[in-house]
Amino acid sequence: MDGKERTSWSEGVTFGLQSGMAVIPYALLTAYRKLNLTGSETLLLIHLLSFRQIEGKDFPSLEELQAVTGRSASVIAGELQKLIKEGFLKIEAGSDERQGLHYERYDFSGLYDKLGRYLSSQRNSTALGADSNSFQRGARSSSSEKGEWIQSGVVSGEAESPSLFVVFEKEFGRPLSPMECETISGWLDQDRYPEELILLALKESVFAGKVYFRYIDRILLEWSRNRVKNAQDVKAYSQRFRGGS
């Protein structure tokens, strides 16, 4: 390397270091496969951490994530959906009363919890094989603890959800935002609404010409209060509500 090349290299390194350095958990780099994460999902998490630490952006847009990953918005949205669904990320919403601003941000506590459990299992386990099997069951996460994984041969929420998200994207005519994906996941996992009921609520909103999430959520809440649980209940409730026979 001659003097000119050395100077150019030195200037490049200096510029890179001055741009900032993100702190990435080493366990994420070494254990992401044990967490059932793909390489692209891991890189997405790294980018989200970097946006927060270097640029002060707690909720980068899909366009910003596209620019750094080189992947399409729909692919990124799908990966974010999975990370949220499996408990690696959460989306927090809040407001700054002094500035009157509403904000959203990613919460990484689920990721750190999974990494902590993995490191603990590695340290305490006496058998590596048992260690791996035990963690892979736990890595499906806090989602499992919330009853997301349904047993006894019933299709799980994870298997059902993609088709539900696709239907919503078709009706809305665009990819869903991470917050919208979390809303649907919340209907399934927290509110325990059957997928059939969610699709019927979407259908009602389309007929009413009010295709937005808040309206659909109000429909589901109203049905829940009136113990409407399936298509037959919806039909009977609609007839009573509209004064039908």
Give the CATH number of domain 21-146; options: 3.50.50.60, 1.10.10.10, 1.10.3720.10, 3.90.1480.20. Answer: 1.10.10.10
* CATH code 1.10.10.10 region(s) in the chain: 21-146
Would the pTM count as exceeding 0.75? Answer: no
pLDDT score of 217: 92
CATH architecture of residue range(s) 147-241: Orthogonal Bundle (1.10)
pLDDT digits (tens, 9 = 90+) for 11-33: 544 544 455 678 888 888 888 89
* CATH code 1.10.10.630 region(s) in the chain: 147-241
Q: Which amino acid makes up residue 244?
A: G
Query: CB under 8 Å, gap of 24 or more: what pairs does 147-153 form?
Result: 147/189, 147/192, 148/85, 148/188, 148/189
- Classify strands 101-107 and 90-96 as parallel, antiparallel or unpaired: antiparallel
Average pLDDT, the chain: 76
For the ranges 93-102, 119-128, 162-171, 201-210, the one whose mean pLDDT is highest: 201-210
Q: How far is CA 101 from CA 40, 68, 94, 95, 106, in A?
A: 32, 27, 9, 5, 17
